[in-house]
Structure 1
Amino acid sequence: MRMLYDSEYEKLTNEVFRKNDVNNFCLLTEGKGENIKESIIDAHWHEWLELIYVIEGGMQLEYPSGTMQVNAGEVALIGVQTLHKIVGSPGKFSFICLHVNFGLIIQYLNPSLFVDQTIKIQKTANFIMLIERVNQLLNSNDAVSTIRLKSSILEILANSIEELELTQLETNNQTEDLIDEFSKIIFYIGEYYRENITLGHLSEKFGYTAQYLSALFKKRTGINFHTYLTGFRLEKVKFLLLNSDKTLLEIAIDSGFSSEHSLINNFKKVFEMTPTEYRSVMKEKKA
């Protein structure tokens, strides 16, 4: 698994600017320059929802089900856990890339709605307006700007769901037909991650053997079921650490960990610091 939302554009040798949201709602990257030849960002995926607004030039997105050319004035949506490769066209380019925090998404909806989704936005003007507003609001850190920033991002999420529905209608498919067996399982995890979900539970629920599901997770995500579920829960933990005053025990319960001890151990294993240390470090940056 390659979760590259914070290093995705490091290979670009031109001017690339990142705006880190101190509230951890999003990450915004602005790029501008000139490619002497094709600029390639290798195939990868990440947990955060990605929106790319091409201002000048063009790029091609490559993903398992096809390719998509995104030109100046267009916006593309790349869903969570969506494998994709980005090929920037030769010549001058300018873009804004917005990543929306997975932890914020799961506060309001099931993130599985965005799994394996790559579409070109149809109502472009509205998205461009919202992305530019987010870009502007990230320059301020007062209470009013923070509220407006969160509101704008939530509006982007709502509009993204509407765009996915439009795409489904145009292909004349029913929603159920668009969800494969693995997506149904991922959707279920998104709904019930707070509960004691095991491979045995999933195998009974969906009618597959635990061995089959284990192999399916490895094939589709590159990691095993336990690592996926733990990572899902930890994204919720990170968001709650930064956006609530809840105790570690309360956060453990809200995110599906069996105990505060389990939460601390898993967090430290992945992020090499305790949840308390993480909260302290991030609050210092925010101050």
Structure 2
Amino acid sequence: MNSYIFETIDHGIKFPAKIFVTSIEQSSYHWHYDYELILVLKGSLSLKLWPDSCVMKEGDIVLVNSKVVHGLSETNENNICLIMQLKQELFEDRKDKNQNYQFYLNSVTDIVKPMVPYETFTRTAAEIGLQYYENSLTNYFRIQALLYTLVADIFQYTQYDIRQYADKNTTVEEADTLLRIIEYVEQNYYEDSITDSLCRYIGMSEKTLYRFLKSHTNLTLKELVISIKLEKTLHMLSKTDKPISVIAQECGFGTDKTFYRIFKNAFGMTPTEYRISGTIVEENKQVQGYIDYSKRDAIRLLKKYI
């Protein structure tokens, strides 16, 4: 299964989160079990929560919920971001571990406002980022405390939806089903009758499949197929000299006009502009386009939000 769809995250052994400051060029559509908190420290960043997108600017904070397909890319200005990938277990109810929470924390769209200013979350996130650069027993406990403070604030001050699972095995079974669906689509995305063949393969009705995908990825089958086709085109545009019309046909877009429209809507540029820009999609990186940033500059930027 290709890494651009499902990302496994190595948190290390110290904390239930992966914390880092980075400059992002491009992170193609992917999903993971972690909740991902993004704070833009400098510049701006295009965040795609398929099929929608928004531009995060300096000071914006967004929580990407568990198992939501998303992608990141740079705009016309450089960016520096604090990324926190929080293990799903941090958000479990000890009395009922069969619940899944979908939080509304997005300072860009600001559709569902939290009960406190967004600075409440940016300040705690920045403090975690600063503490992470120190390696002492005190900082170890400080980070643990701040992580749970952040989670508590998210629960207390943001609105959220709850999904109740039937039993503890349901999440495992559904995760396996989701992986099977994605693998099948990756291998058969070019089929005209993929809905019928996938329903037979997975043993679901079309309506059940629709509800399942929307619940777990916020995508319809059509949108999932398009996202996979787009990833194929990114590789071919950057790694081959094939004419764009040939790439459009081989990736199942039918006409050049359709391909150009869908591509520009997803990435903010035409296939030709993408090829000319020299942007490279590196296949072997689980998270593409994350560039390390110096400790000294990261600390300076983080202190602005304390």
Give the TM-score normalised by structure 2.
Answer: 0.47
Higher helix share: 1
Q: Which fold has the larger relative contact order, with Cα–Cα distance below 8 Å and residues 6 or more apart in sequence?
A: 2
TM-score by length of 1: 0.50
